[in-house]
Structure 1
């Protein structure tokens, strides 16, 4: 079970302390959460990445989402910042966590039903830059997520607030890179993201498949 960090063995606490957590999950938390492997990824990198690596990166993205779900459910905003860039943590979630709320994320916001891997070109970098999300990532995972989708904020005083994440199925893209280290294992560390419903015109290649 999830345990306060001061109550776990010193070696375990030392492993988790760099992630600024106050609680430590059980070693099999991703299995307990039933984090699925990613669907077979469409490797659209024209040979820049092997099919095996493309699938590993897509699986890492799902693992990252599983850790994100646990972190929000346990009020661990410090860990979130090791999973995604600060700019990718929605402001309402940051505010809720700062108010000691926990957040219940549904799977429809976490695990895509279909995905692909693309390179990030110069024009794609320009799109992110105009959104205030400059990226030095070379690749982007693009996934289709079912909708509508709603998350719940649970406050210490008993209030529960529902927030709509999406009103319909959505294609989302996350530029990032593979990071692999204990205790998280493989994760996809995103530093820029967006979706294909953006009226400013997201990259056509990512949104047209």
Structure 2
């Protein structure tokens, strides 16, 4: 490389003062600003809009939802579906997911299924020690037996914090464990509490004995 070539390259990189802002080439400012604005929109604006767009997928009367391990439950009519699929509408490959969540306002019910060899009480004790369930550590020490309309037996334990009431229930039948997490504001109206009870009662494990 000759001295003359080096000088030419330096002159090529040099930007005249009338084309600089704060020492930066004005030609690079607009493209850089576009990149920054796009990144900001993707990071903040899109999630913000997504949270505020009304959710229109709602449960119709009598509609059921199916999870893996042949777990089926009936959500209340009019509630929204934020996770999971309806019965008869499996995922790609014909399989069903292991969890589903339905909601009404600030109240939500999440149902999860999986393999579990043990009792409902043992499953509930296990769930109390995991970090995967919201506010599990505030559960009361007592648990109450519960039986679904199809005869699946389980246990349920309530919890409470400053703003929310809720409960976590565990059911086991024929090696299948089902976890139900209920989160609802302290001011939950009676009609919504009744709907929660109906969801618990509707839960069944197809083919499992009582």
TM-score, normalization by structure 2: 0.24
Q: Which has the larger radius of gyration?
A: 2
| Larger RCO (alpha carbons 8 Å, 6+ apart) | 1
TM-score, normalization by structure 1: 0.24
